[in-house]
Chains A and B, each alone.
Chain A
Amino acid sequence: MKKNPLLILFIVMFGLAKSFGQHDHNQQAVDQAAPAAEAHSHDHGDHDHTGHDHTGHDHTGHDHTGHDHSHDQPAMGQAAPEHSATAHAAGGHHEEFKADASAFHHISDLNVYTIGPWNLPLPCILYAPGKGLSMFSSGKFGIDNAHHGTGHKAVDGYVLYKGRVLRVADPSFPQGELEISDIVSKEITTEKGEKKDKEFLIYNGQELPLDKSSTADGGLFGGGITSFYDFSVTRNVAAMLLVTAFLAWIFFGMAKRYKQAPGTAPTGMQKLFEPLILFIQDEVAKPFIGAKYEQFMPLLLSLFFFILGLNLFGQIPFFGGANVTGNLAFTAVLAIIVFFVVNFNGNKHYWEHVFWMPGIPAWIKVLITPIEILGVFIKPLTLALRLFANITAGHIVIIIFVSLIFIFGKAGENPGAAWGASPASVILALFISAIELLVAFIQAYVFTLLTASYIGAATEEHHHAEAEHH
């Protein structure tokens, strides 16, 4: 709700980006009729407009360009006759900049840790059924810092494309390390008639389809089970480990001080964290859970500080920009844990209210019971979605505002406009950043508060005499 004006702004920017891109591209389409053969050329050498600005690194050769362009380019359609799709947006040095694609790239999980222009390697733990486990550093893929985390080597049939590990679906692909020439992204049409992007490895003049890692959405959001599973220590996992280590250092240090010097005035970190801890205890746990609050305090504080820590960590510019709390996998895990805690602690009254609400006519009970049973699952689901959507939206809006510079500058063609757009971009991004700091706290608080209220509803001792009167 509170994001409404931001969302409108976001949509306006999105539209601006689209129209600028469209215009740019149409012009390009006229210009580039010839270089069909080099259409996919993503030679690692020819990227001089490096994207080490952390926000700009998506204006690369093989971007996910809009599907509507394909019809403008009959010349390029012949480049890959074996596919029903067309390769797009290649050729010259100044490709179209797409703010939406850039944003989606930045919020996604990666197998490299990006600090400023550097892509630091992370451990890869990959499992492909029938092949087994492969463990190696993502540095083995040969990442050049200026290349947005695309590696120039294949390792055991795996390649690194824009920071993500992909697998050559063909099991006959040679194992071990070998140089690869290029990876391209193309729009294809599936058997069901859906258009989607698919990555291909150019190897020995052939285009080999690449699989993304398996996801647990069951194909609902375009993912699903593929030929391998990625259990790597990704950017998000690394961020979680860093935040956990940092918070462990702080809280164990605090606990130690309370033991060593009991009854003394708080100092240092204690001064900062005591009000937060007491806030969760006195304003969240006690009013919502009641007498039994103490047993749930470790969970509530863990949720609050873990979410808050990761929210704030994701806000640090040029320090990985890990979007952990804006990833549905992470928020779903927290929600599932809350689901189990709530329902394992649910007492007789709670289940009675779910399955056979007391104090109302029987025919209404028949209507209410399915709703209540659904509610048991919807409550944690909303927890997961709320946190995910808020944090992701914040990240996207900031990236879009920063992208204004590239949108106006047309990816380097128009530096004057880029300079002109910079102040507005900086001010808007700064403004949203400030709001995001607030959102980081609010979302951590809301998650904890709602968890407490669900636990409170499940453990509350109802007074039926009263309930029946109201």
Chain B
Amino acid sequence: MNLLYFIPLLDFSVIKPDFGLLAWSTLIFLIFWFGIGKLAFKSIIKALNDRASDIQSALDSAKKTREEMANMKAENEKILAEAREEKARIIKEAKEAGNQIIAEAREKSKEDAQRILVNAKNEIENAKKAAMVDIKNQVGVMALDIADKVIRKELSTQQPQQEYVKKLVDEIKFN
């Protein structure tokens, strides 16, 4: 039986598998497969996959770093905002404290002034009292003097004496 009736005379040898070629092809391909395939290709694939995973992890870590950077930036801004707020608060507080101190000082100075005034008044009063005592003493002395003088003069007339005393007393005025 020949399937190649259409070319019966020509030697279409490639379709007739020669035993030698079958044997050699098997041998050489198995050598290729177990030699190059299992030794060279395996290590090449391993190296390629290792490198691929290296690159992937490098990319991943870069992404992670970027994310971290972004987070950090946000945090920094937050801190900055907080700091700003704190500053404002501190300034406000300081202002308030200053105002209070001023108010207190004012109050105190007012009180002081009041106290000084009171003291001064008291002192004046005291001085006045002392002066009064002094004056009374003086007046007594003077009265004695006057009386002395009057007596000396009175000895002549009564009327003009009384008038004179009265005039003397009037002269003693309390300012």
- A323 contacts partner chain B, Cβ-Cβ < 8 Å: yes
Indicate if the CB atoms of B18 and A278 lie closer than 8 Å.
no
Distance of A254 Cα from B36 Cα, bound (Å): 11
Q: Which of B10, B25, B54 contacts A100 (CB 8 A)?
A: B10
| A277-B24 CB under 8 A given contacts A104-B10, A247-B36 | no
Tell me if A125 and B33 are in contact (CB < 8 A): no
Q: Which residues of A contact B10 (CB under 8 A)?
A: 64, 100-101, 104, 197
- Over the window 98-122 of chain A, the binary record of Cβ atoms lying under 8 Å from chain B Cβ atoms (1 yes, 0 no) is 0011001101110000000000000
SS class, residues of chain B in contact with chain A: helix
Chain A: number of interface residues, binned into ranges: 35 or more
User: Does B174 reach chain A (CB closer than 8 Å)?
Assistant: no
- Inter-subunit contact B11/A64 (CB<8 Å): yes
From known contacts A219-B1, A231-B24, A259-B43, infer whether A302 and B15 are also in contact, taking CB-CB under 8 Å.
no
What total count of A-B pairs have CB within 8 Å? Answer: 195
Tell me the nearest residue of chain A to B11, going by C-beta. Answer: A104
Residue of B at shortest CB range from A229?
B19
- Are A240 and B28 in contact (CB-based, < 8 A)? yes
Complex Cα–Cα for A330 and B7 (A): 22
Q: Are A299 and B44 in contact (CB under 8 A)?
A: no
Tell me if A216 and B18 are in contact (CB < 8 A).
yes
A252: which B residues are within 8 A, CB to CB? 36, 39-40
Q: Is B29 within 8 A of A213, CB to CB?
A: no
Given known A100-B10, A195-B8, A294-B45, contact A217–B19 (CB-CB < 8 A): no
* Residues of B participating in the A interface, judged by any CB pair closer than 8 Å: 1-4, 7-26, 28-33, 35-45, 47-48, 50-51, 54
Assuming A240-B24, A329-B17, what are 16 further A-B pairs, CB within 8 angstroms? A64-B10, A109-B18, A197-B10, A215-B18, A221-B4, A222-B16, A234-B20, A237-B24, A258-B43, A263-B50, A263-B54, A297-B45, A327-B17, A329-B18, A330-B21, A332-B17
A interface residues (Cβ-Cβ under 8 A, vs B)? 64-67, 100-101, 104-105, 107-109, 125, 164, 187, 194-197, 213-217, 219-223, 229-234, 236-237, 240-241, 244, 247-248, 251-252, 254-255, 258-259, 262-263, 274, 277-278, 281, 294, 297-299, 301-302, 305-306, 323, 326-330, 332-334, 337, 388, 392
